[in-house]
């Protein structure tokens, strides 16, 4: 298999067309609320008369982009791994475009469910549903005595202090200034990562854990896969955050936190509360009820607003529908964990490295493996240290394979 193979050049040309076609389809940017909604809402809450935020979304028309996507879809050979990859990508971008064309209506829920799944979906291996898993983590977090927390775990860190710390962590990792850390007052999330810049919400309050989490999650997964994806001459779309890679990306990022010991139970609880909130909203809870749910769970008014806002991106605030992206974190983490264990068992840890060569799904990493082996696709230029240390990774996974066989409910008193 070489670069001059007509199949490869055919699909490489189609992929370049895909990258150009989807330029305006920016799902998270276009569904996000303007920052101006927070203050009036929190004031109405403080007065004891909460007012539902009314968000107006600009009208979007992606008919031209969708015609080009359909043309690309018609030209692929789906028996070729690159063709199958392109077909999956085209369809997910088309769903994203459809979602953006109905912003502000309950129909967003329909497209969001197809892109990101729903809380009732079973976890990989026909396990419990995502919502049941979320409730499990919430319960554990609530039962954990707060006396377990070391004093340094409770000291808040300002965005400015964190910016400096994280910047120095990154400059150390790259031995250069490759990624810049910036403050952004308008960010909905606490943090967001692109290939060369990580933004932190100026007003957010961070914990001691956030430094390691942002380093392993945002920088060494989201930014690294974007940086490595930019080196892909044959498949430039591997540098894009396509909606279909969200579950693997967030799963990989959360798995990275877990494998490096930087995920804490409070964070698992935060992720899990969002899943429960999505389920509540889809069952009819409005923005105010979801906001109250987060507050009752112990979040500040500001954080509760940000959390509720994530659930109501692009949908009416009156209840009955939700933006379901946040269901992918837990499901993705379990899928990635399962994938790594499977690759270890089949002696294919190499496939786990390919996952970092761009933004792709777990399935892509396996189906594109021959193209990586043949040198058609570029290997990842940068890898997180935990993945480079295959022995340590294998040790952690081998232990979890064994630990999973121990049924907790069958253990007597220790």
> Percent of the chain scored above 70 by pLDDT?
93
Whole-angstrom Cα distance, residue 130 to residue 329? 10
Closest CA to 216 of 170, 274, 179, 182: 170
pTM score, two decimals? 0.90
Identify the CA nearest to 334 among candidates 243, 408, 272, 279.
Answer: 272
Q: Which residues contact 256 (CB under 8 A, 6 or more apart)?
A: 216, 217, 220, 221, 384, 386
pLDDT at 140: 85
Model confidence pLDDT, tens digit, residues 89-132: 999 999 999 999 999 999 999 999 999 999 999 887 777 899 99
Per-residue confidence (pLDDT) for residue 226, from 0 to 100 = 96
pLDDT digits (tens, 9 = 90+) for 345-389: 888 888 999 999 999 999 999 999 999 999 999 999 999 998 887
Query: Which of 186, 191, 196 has the alpha carbon at shortest distance from 209?
Result: 191
pLDDT value for 352: 92
Asked if residues 362 and 335 have their Cβ atoms less than 8 Å apart, the reply is yes
Which class for 54: exposed (0-12), middle (13-18), buried (19 or more C-beta within 10 A)? exposed
pLDDT of amino acid 405: 61
Interatomic CA distance for residues 14 and 75, integer angstroms: 8
**Please, what sign has the CA dihedral across residues 352, 358, 362, 368?**
negative
Residues of the chain with pLDDT under 70: 1-4, 145-154, 390-391, 400-414
């Amino acid at each position: 298999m070489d670069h001059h193979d007509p199949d490869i050049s055919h699909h490489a040309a189609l992929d370049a067309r895909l990258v150009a076609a989807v330029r305006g389809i920016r799902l998270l940017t276009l569904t996000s609320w303007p920052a101006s909604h927070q203050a009036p809402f929190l004031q109405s809450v403080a007065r004891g008369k909460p007012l539902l935020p009314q968000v107006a979304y600009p009208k979007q028309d992606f008919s031209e982009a969708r015609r080009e996507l359909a043309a690309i879809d018609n030209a692929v050979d789906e028996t070729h791994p690159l063709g199958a990859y392109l077909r999956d990508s085209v369809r997910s971008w088309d769903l994203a475009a459809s979602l953006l064309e109905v912003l502000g209506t309950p129909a967003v829920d329909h497209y969001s469910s197809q892109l990101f799944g729903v809380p009732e979906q079973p976890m990989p291996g026909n396990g419990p549903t995502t919502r049941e898993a979320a409730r499990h983590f919430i319960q554990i977090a609530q039962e954990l005595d707060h006396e377990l927390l070391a004093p340094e775990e409770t000291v808040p860190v300002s965005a400015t202090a964190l910016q400096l710390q994280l910047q120095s962590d990154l400059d150390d990792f790259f031995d250069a200034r490759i990624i810049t850390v910036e403050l952004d007052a308008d960010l909905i999330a606490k943090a967001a990562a692109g290939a060369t810049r990580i933004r932190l919400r100026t007003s957010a309050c961070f914990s001691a854990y956030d430094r390691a989490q942002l380093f392993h999650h945002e920088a060494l997964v989201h930014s690294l896969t974007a940086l490595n994806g930019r080196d892909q001459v044959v498949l430039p779309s591997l540098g894009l955050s396509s909606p279909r890679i969200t579950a693997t990306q967030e799963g990989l990022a959360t798995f990275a936190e877990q494998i490096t010991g930087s995920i804490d139970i409070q964070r698992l609880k935060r992720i899990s509360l969002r899943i429960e909130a999505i389920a509540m909203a889809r069952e009819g809870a409005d923005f105010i009820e979801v906001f109250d749910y987060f507050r009752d769970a112990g979040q500040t008014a500001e954080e509760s607003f940000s959390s509720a806002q994530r659930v109501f991106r692009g949908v009416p605030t009156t209840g009955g529908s939700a933006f379901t992206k946040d269901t992918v974190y837990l499901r993705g983490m379990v899928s990635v964990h399962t994938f790594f264990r499977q690759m270890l068992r089949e002696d294919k840890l190499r496939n786990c490295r390919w996952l970092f060569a761009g933004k792709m799904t777990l399935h892509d990493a396996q189906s594109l493996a021959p193209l990586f082996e043949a040198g058609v696709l570029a290997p990842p230029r940068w890898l997180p240290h935990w993945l480079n240390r295959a022995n340590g990774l294998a040790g952690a996974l081998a232990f979890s394979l064994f630990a999973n066989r121990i049924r907790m409910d069958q253990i007597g008193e220790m």
